[in-house]
A and B are shown apart, each in its own frame.
Chain A
Amino acid sequence: MTLLKSLARSPSAIIGAVLLLIVLVMAASAGWLFPNDPLSLAGRPLQAPFANPRFPLGTDSVGRNVAAQLFYGARTSLLIGLISTVVAIVIGIVVGALAGFYGRWIDTALMRVTEAFQTVPSFILLLLLVVIFGSHIETLALTIGIVSWTAPARLTRAEFLTLRNREFVQACRGLGMPNWRIIFLEILPNALPPVIVYASVVMAFSILLESALAFLGLSDPNVASWGNLIADGRRVLRTAAYVATLPGLVILITVLSISLIGQGLNDAMNPRLRRKG
C-alpha cells in the first residue's frame, strides 16, 4: 500500500503510467478499430497521413494500413516484452539465488555459465537461435528471454551475497529453518526490490530487441510489428518519411513509459529512504 502511495507521488511513475495506458489501449482496441488483417493490402500504396479518412496515418509502400499496423504492433511488442521478461527474471532469480546462497562450487559453476552467456553478444546469439528455432512469435519471446537473464541473475546473486551473511539470516539458521525456506521466504523478499526495478529494464530491452529483429526482417512475418514497418519505411525514406518515423515514435513512447515506471519504482523503493524508516 505504501509503495503504491509513494508511486503516486512520483511524477515519472505517473507520466510513465499514462503513456503505458495509451499503448495498452492501442493493443486492446486494435481488433475493434481495425477488424481486418493489418497485413492485408488495404488500398493504394503510400497515401500520406490525413489525406484519406480511411487511412488516418496513411499507407505503407505496398498499401497496408499504417494505423492498423501500429495498433496491432502494440500487441506484439507488449506480448514479447511480458513473456521474455518473465522468462528472464525467473531464470535470473533462480540462478542468482542458488549461486549467491550456496556459494562454493555451485556459485562457481553457475557464474561460469552466466559469464559464458554474457560473453556471447546477446543479439548475435539471438540471430543464431532464430536461425535454429525459427521466428514464430512465441518462440521469439522465449528466446529473447533466454538471452536476457544474465543481468537479473548477477543482480540477484549480489543481493543474496550481502543478505546471506546478515544476522537475521543467521538467526533463521540458528532456529533450524530449512534452506529452501530461508532462500524463498526470508532472503528473496528482501532481495526482490532491485530485481523488480531491473525487470523494467529487461522489458524495455526485449521490446527493442524484437523491433530490431523485425527491422532486419527476422521477426515473425505473420504478425504486425513496428520494426517491420520501419524496415518497409526505410525503402521509401526519401519520399515518404512518415512510414519509418511513426512506428519509431511509438516504440520510443512504449519503451520510455516502461523506463519511467521503472524509475518511479526505484524512487519509491529508494534504499536510502528505506534505511531511515
Chain B
Amino acid sequence: MALSIENLSVRLPRHADRDYAVRDLSLNVGDNEIVCVVGESGSGKSIMASSILRLLPEGVTPEAGRILFEGEDLLRFPPHAMRSIRGARIGMIFQDPMTALNPLHRVGDQIAETFRIHTTLPQADIRARVLDLLGQMHLPDPARAARAYPHELSGGQRQRAMIAMALALEPKLLIADEPTTALDVTTQAQILSLIRELQQRNRMGVLFITHDFGVVAEIATRIAVMRHGVLVEEGSAAKVLEAPEHPYTRELIAAVPSLKPPSKEPLQPLGQAVLSIVDVSKTYRQKGRDVAALKNVTLALRRGSTLGIVGESGSGKSTLARCIVRLLTTDSGAIEVDGANITTMTTVEWRKNVRRVQMVFQDPYASLNPRRKVGDLVAQGPLIHGAKAADVYPRVRDLFALVGLDPAAVDRYPHEFSGGQRQRIGLARALAMDPDILVADEPVSALDVSVQAQVLTLIADIQRKLGLSVVFITHDLRVAAQICDRVAIMQGGRVVEEGMAADVLVAPQHPYSQALVAAVPGRRWHAETDV
C-alpha cells in the first residue's frame, strides 16, 4: 500500500462558507494503481490532495485522521522530514503548467533543482539526468526544452516538464491534481497516455484528481467519488463506471453527454439560410507578425437549426463568433444575416440590426457587470434602443421565468447567483433583444457537469419555443453531439470538415477530425452504456 488515508478531516478557516473541506475521509492508493478521485467544484478533492504533502493554503488545517505513507503518518512529520518526502518519495503535478512553473527560470534548471535538493549528484550528472528525463517524456528536442523558459513551450510541453520534475527521483506515489484540465483535448489524450505509461513502468501509485468522468474512464484502476467533502462511493473502475450505486454517482454519470448524437425525430426540412458566412478571412498583427485567425471560412446556418463550431484553442472559433456579432471586423468576405451583409454596414445601420444577432458568453463571472442589478442588465438592451421602461421591465420578469429563474430576483446583484444561474441571466439578456440568431460562445465550459446539462437543456428548449437559430461554439465534442444539428470542425483558422453532427462526430472524414474524435476521453466507455 503506497498511501492510506484514514478518517481525514480538514478544517476550513472561520469565515469560509462551510466548516470542513474534507470530512472523515478514508482512501487507499495501492503500489501499482491509478486511483481517480472525482468530484465537482467544492467537493474538497483538491484540498484532500494538497493535505497529503501538507501544501494546504494558510488557515486550512487537517484536524483529525492519519495519512499513512509507507506506514508512517505524514501529518505527524516535522517540517524537515516532510521536505525529504516532497519531490523525492511523493511527486505532485498541478492543473495549470503555465503558472506552476516559475516564469523566470529555465525549465531544465527547475527540474535540476529537484536533484540538487535531494541528492549530491555532480552538476554534469544532473544535466544528463534532466535531458534523459525530458526524453522519457517524449519531448521532441530535450536539449531545447531544457534551455527554454516556460513561456517558450506549449501547454502540453510544459505539463510534460512538470511531470518530469515530479518523477525525477522515481517517487512511490504521484499526486496529479487535474493535470489535463487546462489542456486541449488532443494534448490531454497524450498526457493521459504518458501518465499511464510512466505509472506502469515505474510501478508507482497515482492519485488522480479530476472532475471529468471521461478522463476517469480513460485512466482509472479504482474510482472514488467525493461530494461536499465526503466520500460517497468507492470501488473498482469497472464497477463504478458500469454499475454505480450511490445516486449522486449515477447523477454525475448521467450528466456526461454522449458522444453519439441523439436520434432526433426527422425535422421538417430545414429552412433557408438565415446566416451565411462567405469566404471570411481575418489576420491579427501580433508581436510584429501576422497571425491568420480565419482563413476563407464559408458556412451557413439554416433557420431554426443549430450549427456547432468545434475546435481546440487557437482554431479561430471564438474569433469567428465575435465576427458574427461584429465585435471584431473581418478583413475580407461577407457575413450575411437574412441576405444583408453586416460587414459593410455603417455603425448606424448596424445599430438598427444589432437586435437580430445576440451573444451568450463563456465566463459567467466576467460577463455580467458586477455593479448593476441583474434585472437592469437584462433590460439594458431594449432600453438603449428606445423601448419604454414600463414596457421592458414586465418583459424582463417574463424572461427570468423563461430561463428558469425567480422573477423576483431581478433586484439582486450578479454576485448573489451561482455560475449556472448567471449563464441563465446572460441568456435572458440576449433574449431580451428578441434575436433571430443566438451566438453562444462556450456557454457551458465553465460550469460543473450537472449544471452544464441543465443549461444545455434550457438552450435547446428555448430554441424550440422561440424558433431561434443558434451558432454554438465549443471545444467539447460531447456537448456538440448533444445540441448541434450540423457541426463544423475548425483547425488553425480553417474549417476542415462540415456536415450533419451524426456524420461528422461518428464517422469523421478529415484526418484532424478523426484525431479530435479519437482523443475524446472515455469514448469507448460511454458509447457502450449509451446504446
A–B direct contact (CB < 8 Å): yes
Q: Are A176 and B371 in contact (CB under 8 A)?
A: no
The residue on B at minimum CB distance from A189 is B371
- A contact residues around B433 at 8 Å (CB): 175
Q: Are A170 and B354 in contact (CB under 8 A)?
A: no
- B contact residues around A166 at 8 Å (CB): 366-367
**A176 CA to B345 CA in the complex, in Å?**
13
- A contact residues around B350 at 8 Å (CB): 176
State whether the Cβ of B208 lies closer than 8 Å to any Cβ in chain A: no
State whether the Cβ of B361 lies closer than 8 Å to any Cβ in chain A: yes
What distance in Å separates the Cβ of B287 from its nearest Cβ neighbour in chain A?
16
What distance in Å separates the Cβ of B435 from its nearest Cβ neighbour in chain A?
10
State whether the Cβ of B429 lies closer than 8 Å to any Cβ in chain A: yes
Decide: A174 near B325, CB < 8 A? Known: A186-B369, A190-B369.
yes
Contact of A167 among B363, B371, B380 (CB under 8 A): B363
**A173 CA to B369 CA in the complex, in Å?**
13
Interface residues on B, range: 20 to 34
Inter-chain residue pair count (beta carbon < 8 A): 54
**A48 CA to B362 CA in the complex, in Å?**
72
Contact of A171 among B351, B370, B426 (CB under 8 A): B426
The residue on B at minimum CB distance from A176 is B354
What distance in Å separates the Cβ of A269 from its nearest Cβ neighbour in chain B?
12
**A172 CA to B325 CA in the complex, in Å?**
12
- A contact residues around B362 at 8 Å (CB): 167
**A189 CA to B359 CA in the complex, in Å?**
24
State whether the Cβ of B270 lies closer than 8 Å to any Cβ in chain A: no
State whether the Cβ of A277 lies closer than 8 Å to any Cβ in chain B: yes
State whether the Cβ of A177 lies closer than 8 Å to any Cβ in chain B: yes
Q: Are B361 and A171 in contact (CB under 8 A)?
A: yes
Contact of B384 among A170, A175, A190, A277 (CB under 8 A): A175
Contact of A175 among B354, B363, B368, B415 (CB under 8 A): B354
What distance in Å separates the Cβ of A17 from its nearest Cβ neighbour in chain B?
26
Q: Are B366 and A175 in contact (CB under 8 A)?
A: no
State whether the Cβ of B381 lies closer than 8 Å to any Cβ in chain A: yes
Contact of B380 among A172, A189, A190 (CB under 8 A): A172
The residue on B at minimum CB distance from A166 is B366
What distance in Å separates the Cβ of B293 from its nearest Cβ neighbour in chain A?
15
Q: Are B370 and A174 in contact (CB under 8 A)?
A: no
What distance in Å separates the Cβ of B298 from its nearest Cβ neighbour in chain A?
24
**A186 CA to B369 CA in the complex, in Å?**
7
**A186 CA to B325 CA in the complex, in Å?**
20
State whether the Cβ of B358 lies closer than 8 Å to any Cβ in chain A: yes
- B contact residues around A171 at 8 Å (CB): 359, 361, 367-368, 426, 429
**In the complex, chain B residues 331-380 whose Cβ is within 8 Å of any chain A Cβ:** 350-351, 354-355, 358-359, 361-363, 366-371, 380
Q: Are A174 and B359 in contact (CB under 8 A)?
A: yes
State whether the Cβ of A184 lies closer than 8 Å to any Cβ in chain B: no
**A189 CA to B371 CA in the complex, in Å?**
8
- A contact residues around B367 at 8 Å (CB): 166-168, 170-171
Per-residue CB contact flags for chain A residues 153-194 toward chain B (1 = under 8 Å, else 0) read: 000000000000011101111111110010000100110000
**A181 CA to B426 CA in the complex, in Å?**
20
What distance in Å separates the Cβ of B489 from its nearest Cβ neighbour in chain A?
25
**A172 CA to B376 CA in the complex, in Å?**
12
Decide: A167 near B327, CB < 8 A? Known: A175-B354, A176-B384, A186-B369.
no
- B contact residues around A177 at 8 Å (CB): 380, 384
Q: Are A174 and B380 in contact (CB under 8 A)?
A: no
What distance in Å separates the Cβ of B377 from its nearest Cβ neighbour in chain A?
8
Q: Are A190 and B385 in contact (CB under 8 A)?
A: no
Contact of B358 among A167, A172, A174 (CB under 8 A): A174
6 A-B pairs with least C-beta separation: A176-B354, A167-B367, A167-B361, A175-B381, A168-B369, A277-B415
Name 6 interchain pairs, CB-CB below 8 A, sorted by A. Answer: A171-B359, A172-B369, A174-B325, A174-B359, A178-B384, A190-B371
Mark A residues whose CB is within 8 Å of B: 166-168, 170-178, 181, 186, 189-190, 277
